[in-house]
Chain A
Amino acid sequence: MTVDIDKTDGPADTPPAGPEAIKAIPVRHYGRYVSAVIALALLGGVIYAFSQGRINWGAIPDYFFNDRILSGVGNTILLTVLCMLIGVVGGILLAVMRLSKNPVTSSIAWFYIWFFRGTPVLVQLIVWFNLGLVFEYINLGPVYKDEWSQFMTPFLTALLGLGLNEAAYMAEICRAGLLSVDEGQTEASHALGMSHAKTLRRIVVPQAMRVIVPPTGNEVINMLKTTSLVSVVQYSELLRVAQDIGQTSGAPAEMLFLAAAWYLVLTSVFSVGQYYLERYYARGSSRTLPDTPFQKIKANMLSLSNRPGSTPGGAA
């Protein structure tokens, strides 16, 4: 406080004394102007071509908040979240199995990852749907008994097909994360008398998260888009609904653009969530966390409102 008062004694806008600042004419980058003009021209051409095409753009806003579209969006989100949940839990389990000293569990995990990464997810989906050829009935004793085709609804097919496939990818991401934590951390934790499980939960996993979160965010966005494959097993997610509406309303291409717009909205929302999650797990690894965009805006507004005032140190 007292420092501020001392400062106001002198004229507020006098620059600090020192060597004269350099005033030079900057280098002109003509190449940049040329390439910018070319890029803008190409972009303009593409936009013009789309606007002239035989596409009824007006149909998109008409159907954007259509009830069926919204339920499709809801199903897509539900499927994404549940499949990622299966993927993450299964992935952690598989990663721990692969890193375990037990040769049987680590081989099983290796085989699982080999199989699910090695076959296309579309094939897996269709196989799940048709597994009734192998298992005619599903019989969980007194709890549940039914024919496979009754049990394996499109939703369950989608969930198992995408979730189990995702687990294989998440396993590799989790394994990389666990391996990225310095061995000294485990040693220090063991030296303090902490058990294997506590060391993993309290020390290793929180640090591994820094490495795990960014690619997992990638996986979430991938999953969101991959759910569109599920339209082949008759589950009414966004793409399926958009196609159905397109056939009945006579605007099939428009509905595809609409679906694309919704996918963009959803992936953008997930990206924001990822940003904050990464920021949370960066605590301790960087000396000061960068401001979030929201904090930056707030700081800018504060500095703007402070500018007319006569406190020179206020904006800092």
Chain B
Amino acid sequence: MTAMVKAEGVHKSFGLVEVLKGIDLEVQSGEVFCLIGPSGSGKSTFLRCINHLEKINAGRLYVDGELVGYRQKGDKLYELKDSEVAVKRRDIGMVFQRFNLFPHMTALENVMEAPVQVKGISRAQARERAGQLLERVGLADKASSYPSQLSGGQQQRVAIARALAMEPKLMLFDEPTSALDPELVGDVLDVMRDLAESGMTMIVVTHEMGFAREVGDSLVFMDGGVVVESGHPRDVLTDPQHERTKSFLSKVL
């Protein structure tokens, strides 16, 4: 296995507030990597650094062996142009807590948008592919609905299909079920489980410990901008070593 994502001493500050204080971790290709921790622990920020929605201040972050956001020549770093960053983002799908579907487009148009606009695929081809993806997430009959006509769970499944339409090699999930009614969480998790079984590399920021235990291959507990504990989900969740992990898990489990 090769490392899909590799972080070496990643630091990130917003103004004077240091959110990430040196993150070191490796995500292997094909693995489901879960990030848990209290809010404000920096897990979402770290996720957003991976596709360069946030710039890191120190350390190194690699995706598929390539530096994120920079090019290294000798010992000098050159910032990538916006267009170069955009090219790298094509390979990384992202699913947001608040879905962020495009409200002026139907479900099908949402899924078609990036393949047509970014990859230049013909509309007919993109439509066919988008139809297949909507079917895969169980929403073939909602293709012509606007996001406002869909439930939260349905919107999130469309958002997953939209990300998959770019055929990414890595999927980032930023608390994908936190904004959903408890009843609707299951549908989204089913889609994610299905995706994991297909061998997709996934980094999931989540509060769904059940999902992490069942589907996850690795788990990291973050707090205060550092990795407190990591290991196999079953080990960390059932037998946490650190006090901080124990107190957090006792509250959420």
Binding site for B on A (CB under 8 A): 182, 184-185, 187-196, 198, 202-203, 206-207, 281, 283-287
Contact = CB atoms under 8 A, between A and B. Distances in A.
B104 A207 contact: yes
Contact of A202 (B87, B103, B113, B147): B113
Contacts of A283: 104, 146
Given A184-B96, A187-B100, A192 B82 contact: no
B102 A203 contact: yes
Interface in B59-104: 82-83, 86-87, 89-90, 92-94, 96, 98, 100-104
B164 to A, nearest CB: 11
A208 to B, nearest CB: 10
B117 A202 contact: yes
A287 B163 CA distance: 24
Contacts of A193: 86-87, 89-90, 114, 118, 166
30 contacts: A184-B98, A185-B100, A187-B53, A187-B96, A188-B96, A188-B100, A188-B101, A188-B102, A188-B159, A191-B94, A191-B163, A192-B90, A192-B162, A192-B166, A193-B86, A193-B89, A193-B90, A193-B114, A194-B118, A195-B82, A195-B86, A198-B117, A203-B102, A206-B104, A207-B102, A284-B106, A284-B146, A284-B147, A285-B148, A287-B149
Interface residues of B, number: 32
A204 B93 CA distance: 20
Contacts of B3: none
Contact of B53 (A190, A195, A198, A203): A190
Contacts of B117: 194, 198, 202
A287 B147 CA distance: 9
Interface of B: 51, 53, 82-83, 86-87, 89-90, 92-94, 96, 98, 100-106, 113-114, 117-118, 146-149, 159, 162-163, 166
B104 A190 contact: no
A18 B94 CA distance: 52
B177 to A, nearest CB: 17
A284 B100 contact: no
Contacts of B146: 283-284, 287
Contacts of A285: 103-104, 148
B182 to A, nearest CB: 23
A192 B100 contact: no
A284 B94 contact: no
Q: Which of B92, B114, B147 has the most CB of A within 10 A?
A: B114
Nearest to A285: B103
The residue among A187, A196, A284 with the most chain B CB atoms within 10 A of its own CB is A284
A185 B146 CA distance: 15
Contacts of A189: 102
Contacts of A187: 53, 96, 100
Nearest to A209: B104
Nearest to B115: A192
Contacts of B147: 284
Given A191-B94, A193-B118, A202-B113, 18 more contacts: A184-B100, A185-B100, A187-B96, A188-B96, A188-B159, A191-B53, A192-B163, A193-B86, A193-B89, A193-B90, A193-B166, A198-B118, A202-B117, A207-B102, A283-B104, A284-B148, A285-B104, A286-B148
A281 B51 CA distance: 32
Nearest to A288: B149
A185 B166 CA distance: 17
Interface centre among B86, B89, B101 (most CB of A within 10 A): B86
Nearest to B119: A193
Contacts of A287: 146, 148-149
B232 to A, nearest CB: 29
A37 B166 CA distance: 68
A192 B51 CA distance: 10
A198 B86 CA distance: 11
